[in-house]
Structure 1
Amino acid sequence: MCISDCAVRKWVRTFKGEDPRETIQRDRKRSGRPLSASVTAHREKVDCMIRANRRVKQKEIANAVGIPKERVHHIVTTVLGYRKVSARWVPRQLTVEMKAQRKDMCTQQQLSTVFILA
């Protein structure tokens, strides 16, 4: 079964806007809830809650802020860049202090292994 040429031509005219009666298919304002869960205010609230309690659950954040759990997950993982490690939210990027601390720990471990082997 295939579509007739006449139907295809009608669709082309409709979507190009040549027939003023049929230009209803263009995007219009739609009723419904706007996407407001990723607003800066919500991001700040979520970030403050995580900084206050690193073991806070996404469901608790969603209830406190008043947005869906899926949006909380998006804000926490994608926007703020946190991930779960041992039931805690941890930032994905290391700060300068964290990098310096890691470097110090690695050099201390290397020195202790050198003394043990010698």
Structure 2
Amino acid sequence: MVTSNDLLIKQRSVIKFLAAEGCSAANIHAKMKTVYGEMCISDCAVRKWVRIFKGEDPREIILRDRKRSGSPLSALVTAHQEKVDCMIRANRRVKQKEIANAVGISKERVHHIITTVLGYLKVSARWVPRQLTVEMKAQRKDMCTQLLELSTVCPRMY
């Protein structure tokens, strides 16, 4: 499946190629309209890119979007995830602000790590895992089998 960003890059490449051959912007748009149909970029955008590729526009000749400024998402760093998880396991009543100060990231990123990445839920001022762990599932299975065995031995008691 082609994403819209990939489609834009392909269309810019076509514009660059046809502009290098000397085709006019109107000609390029007409050719692209037959190939891409409704997904084709506008005539105005084609003219803009032809100007850029012919060097009439002082901007750089680019096909892909430039990288944006800003720091990368700290929720993706596994070291941060491990620190947050260790702090929660040590003290289930720990606050997000305390975790943020200890780890050195924002409260918003801490909340994202806790709820989305680690899957915790706040219940009665404590962080609780949303899903059962493997040990908890095994305990539940053992208890259910014991109760099932008891119910077959003494059916009237249970």
Settle same-fold status: TM greater than 0.5. yes
Q: Deviations over 1:16-67 (max 9, x none)?
A: x523334467533444x31151211111110110010011111111111111
User: In the TM superposition, what is the alpha-carbon distance from 1:70 to its structure 2 partner?
Assistant: 0.6
For the pair 1:94 / 2:132, whether they are aligned, the reply is yes
Letter in 2 for 1:13: V
- Over the matched positions of the two proteins, sequence identity in percent amounts to 64
Q: 2:53 aligns with which of 15, 18, 21?
A: 18
Provide the aligned length of Structure 1 versus Structure 2: 109
- The residue number in structure 1 matching 2:112 is 74
* Structure having the higher Rg: 2
Q: TM-score by structure 2 length?
A: 0.54
Q: TM-score by structure 1 length?
A: 0.68
Change in CA separation of 1:106 and 1:80 when aligned onto 2, cut-off 3 Å? same
For 1:23 and 1:72, the matched residues in 2 are separated by 38
The 8 Å contact of residues 53 and 61 in structure 2, kept in 1 or not, is answered as no
Letter in 1 for 2:54: D
Cα-Cα RMSD: 3.2
Q: Deviations over 1:63-104 (max 9, x none)?
A: 111111110011111111111122211112212321233341
Change in CA separation of 1:95 and 1:8 when aligned onto 2, cut-off 3 Å? closer
Which is further off, 65-74 or 97-106? 97-106
User: In the TM superposition, what is the alpha-carbon distance from 1:9 to its structure 2 partner?
Assistant: 4.0
For 2:144 and 2:122, the matched residues in 1 are separated by 23
Which 4+ residue blocks in structure 1 deviate beyond 6 angstroms? none
- The residue number in structure 1 matching 2:103 is 65
Letter in 1 for 2:66: R
User: In the TM superposition, what is the alpha-carbon distance from 1:10 to its structure 2 partner?
Assistant: 2.4
The 8 Å contact of residues 74 and 80 in structure 2, kept in 1 or not, is answered as yes
Letter in 1 for 2:101: N
For 2:132 and 2:43, the matched residues in 1 are separated by 62
Change in CA separation of 1:9 and 1:86 when aligned onto 2, cut-off 3 Å? same
Alignment of 1:43-54 (within 5 A): 43-54=81-92
